[in-house]
């Protein structure tokens, strides 16, 4: 039973990492790519480390894997957010067909004609 759980978790993790890699290649700009890394890669790495933890069992090695999971879940999303923030502040080229930014919305003047 433990081998089946380990295999399932490892395969699911590899699939999520593959989705993250495809996202890095296919997505149009830095912010979208950063999002793919933050979400899909974090989940994939989490599942692979859980599979490794299930393989090792309880004990000192299991505690080390639990600490690795904890630190990965904290550092990857924060690093991805900082990369996106830096790209935004440096005005790197962004995807042209994106929704309007909230802070750059300009309202058109209202016409004074009564209809």
Element (H, E) at 51: helix 42-56
- Cβ–Cβ < 8 Å for 76, 37: yes
Q: pLDDT category, 94, cuts 50, 70, 90? A: low
List own/partner pairs for 96-105 with CB under 8 A and 24 or more apart: none
Q: Is residue 108 part of a domain?
A: no
Q: Is residue 114 part of a domain?
A: no
Least confident of 58-62, 71-75, 97-101: 97-101
Domain with 35, as residue range(s), is 2-92
* 96-109 confidence digits (pLDDT tens): 665 555 555 555 55
What CA–CA distance (Å, rounded) separates 5 from 3?
5
As for how many domains the chain has, the answer is 1
Predicted structure pTM score: 0.69
pLDDT score at 114: 54
Q: Which residues contact 85 (CB under 8 A, 6 or more apart)?
A: none
- Cβ–Cβ < 8 Å for 36, 25: no
- To the nearest 5 percent, what fractions of the chain are helix, strand and coil? 75, 0, 25
Q: Is residue 49 part of a domain?
A: yes
Q: Is residue 87 part of a domain?
A: yes
The residue-averaged pLDDT of 66-74 equals 88
List own/partner pairs for 53-58 with CB under 8 A and 24 or more apart: 54/2, 54/5, 54/6, 54/9, 55/2, 55/6, 57/2
Q: Is residue 55 part of a domain?
A: yes
């Amino acid at each position: 039973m433990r081998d089946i759980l380990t295999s399932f978790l490892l395969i699911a993790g590899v699939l999520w990492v593959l989705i993250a890699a495809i996202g890095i290649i296919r997505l149009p700009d830095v912010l979208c790519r950063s999002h793919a890394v933050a979400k899909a890669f974090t989940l994939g790495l989490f599942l692979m480390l859980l599979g490794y933890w299930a393989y090792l069992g309880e004990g000192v090695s299991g505690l080390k894997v639990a600490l690795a999971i904890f630190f990965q879940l904290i550092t990857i999303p924060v690093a991805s957010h900082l990369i996106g923030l830096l790209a935004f502040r440096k005005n790197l080229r962004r995807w042209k067909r994106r929704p309007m930014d909230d802070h750059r919305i300009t309202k058109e003047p209202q016409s004074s004609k009564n209809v």
